[in-house]
Amino acid sequence: MKTNTASLPVPELTLPISLETYQQLLVASAKTGYRKEIWEIGAAAIHEWLARNEPEAFGRPVIKGHQWKQLFLPNGTLLRTSFNGKNFYSLVEDDQLIYKGAVSSPSQFANCVGGVRRNAWKVIWVLFPNTTLWRTAVSLRTQRTKRM
């Protein structure tokens, strides 16, 4: 089997990361059973970042993600809801919303967590990629509706 040497790490190069980030990577890798070398996980993360920030360099569409009615959630978007004082999260990846490893809709996510009928627009908070501000889904829906 031929190995693609362009995808192998260069031993002389280093890319420093914080100890906290490295520890989080190890814990997440162990929990998911992700059996790749640390450099492979790092390379995949960097490639994904480059694809989001310089999509033309990869010949891909500018943005991929999940369409939630009139609100577009790009890949990498986090959704959060709370129930009984505990936070729960889902992630948009590969154009789908993923909760506990399964494809979900925002409504399914909100109701699965709460166990009751809940309005997803009112109980979900959204964190877009490369941002630090959580926004309520209903406020994003209202903004989009007003612009139309």
7 within some domain:
no
DSSP states of the chain: ----GGGS--TT------HHHHHHHHHHHHHHT--S-HHHHHHHHHHHHHHHH-GGGGT--S--EEEETTEEEETT-EEEEEETTEEEEEEEETTEEEETTEEE-HHHHHHHHHSS---HHHH-EEE-TT----EEHHHHHHHHHHH-
**Residue 126 CA to chain centroid, in angstroms?**
11
Span 38-51, mean pLDDT? 76
User: How high is the pLDDT of residue 45?
Assistant: 80
pLDDT above 90 (res 135) = yes
pLDDT above 90 (res 42) = no
Under the banding of pLDDT at 50, 70 and 90, the label for residue 51 is low
Higher pLDDT, residue 127 or 50: 127
Of residues 128, 101, 129, the one with CA closest to residue 34 = 101
Tens digits of residue pLDDT in 18-39: 899 888 888 877 877 766 777 7
5 within some domain:
no
The answer on 87 and 137 residing in a single domain is: yes
6 within some domain:
no
User: How high is the pLDDT of residue 1?
Assistant: 44
Total domains in the chain come to 2
Domain that holds residue 43: 12-58
3 within some domain:
no
The answer on 140 and 78 residing in a single domain is: yes
The answer on 88 and 38 residing in a single domain is: no
pLDDT above 60 (res 147) = no
What share of the chain in percent tops pLDDT 70?
78
Q: Can you give the pTM of this predicted structure?
A: 0.57
Span 72-81, mean pLDDT? 93
1 within some domain:
no
